[in-house]
A = this chain, B = another copy of it.
Amino acid sequence: MSTLASQAVKTAGKTILASTIAKRFTDEIQLATSKLPKPPKLVGLLANGDPAAKSYADYTGKTSKSLGFDYELRQVDKEALEEEIYKCNEDDSVNGMIVYFPVYGDHQDQYLQQCVSLDKDVEGLNFKYVSNMYHNIRYMDEKHEKKSIVPCTPLALVKILEYLGIYNPLLNYGDRLYGKTVTIVNRSEIVGRPLAALLANDGATVYSADVNNIQLYERGDGLTLKKHRVVECSKTLEECAKSSDVIVTGVPSASYKFPTEYVKRGAVVVNFSFEKNFADDVKQKASLYVPSTGKVTIAMLLRNLLRLMENSKKGEKDQA
């Protein structure tokens, strides 16, 4: 069969857009903000002079305004960023902030991120939140009233996998990926590694691949471990992918393509990179294909902001 002829064959696979998946959350967010006495205020801090970051910041602003938030973009010099973060921390009229990274592009960025107070960290990148996530601690308090914040891009991917039917609601909350195998091509500190941990904590067998090696994240047979363990894995990417129900890619390269022949027939594939990590012929093999995820990430960021406001209201009650 020629390539042209084979492309003409209608396959059972479907492309699912991030906007479709985000809709439920944006509807919920809009309803929630409509009930508040005034629009919650989100501040974006841009200090890198990068036009791409500026356009992303503008897009965040447009979305958040359309969902009932007050958004203010502050452009500051790199040197003034830390002080600006503290100003926002102390300003009661600011409910949440986003810092557009990279700024320095090195460890100083991690330091700056930690300057954002716990109460205003809509991205969920504070060490406390990240550590809670790795240790499968889902609440901030012993009474289980304040939910911990989950980093927004990994959280978006969890919500996407829920939408795609990968989580099984018959299993207990926290175990609903039991039986699913996932390969993640990306092990960044911002997305890939926390995502592997989150999915393994929810019961999945996760292969985490980067350029150096493959690691296995898992909770063991019967999910008897309370949180995931990480073990070195001697399998190849091909072996991992071919046994995976879900493949998630986040490779920041325009030339990289995940090999379609590694995709198991009917697997679910999701790309969170800004580049297109899957070739078009992936639709011949995958059952569900999500080509990008940004719109769900922004929804999660705004959802986190609302949760932070709820948490701080509960905190006030406790002190009263």
Measuring CB to CB, which residues of chain A are less than 8 angstroms from any residue of chain B? 9-14, 16, 163-165, 168-172, 175, 178-180, 203, 205, 221-224, 243, 245, 264-268, 283-285, 287-288
Q: Is the pair A171, B287 in contact by a Cβ cutoff of 8 Å?
A: yes
Residue of B nearest to A284 (CB): B222
Copies in the assembly, this chain: 2
Per the bound structure, the CA–CA distance linking A222 and B264 in Å amounts to 11
Contacts of A283 in B (CB 8 A): 222
Q: Is the pair A12, B266 in contact by a Cβ cutoff of 8 Å?
A: no
Interface centre among A10, A178, A284 (most CB of B within 10 A): A178
Q: Is the pair A221, B265 in contact by a Cβ cutoff of 8 Å?
A: yes
Contacts of A180 in B (CB 8 A): 266
Q: Is the pair B288, A171 in contact by a Cβ cutoff of 8 Å?
A: yes
Q: A12-B175, A179-B266, A268-B179 are in contact. Are A168 and B287 (CB under 8 A)?
A: yes
Contacts of A284 in B (CB 8 A): 221-222
Given contacts A9-B222, A180-B266, 11 further A-B contacts (CB under 8 A): A10-B224, A12-B224, A14-B170, A14-B171, A14-B172, A168-B288, A171-B287, A203-B287, A221-B284, A222-B284, A243-B243
Q: Which of B165, B171, B172 contacts A170 (CB 8 A)?
A: B165
Write 14 A-B pairs (CB below 8 A) sorted by A numbering.
A9-B224, A11-B221, A11-B222, A12-B203, A14-B170, A14-B171, A164-B170, A165-B165, A165-B168, A165-B169, A170-B288, A179-B287, A205-B265, A223-B266
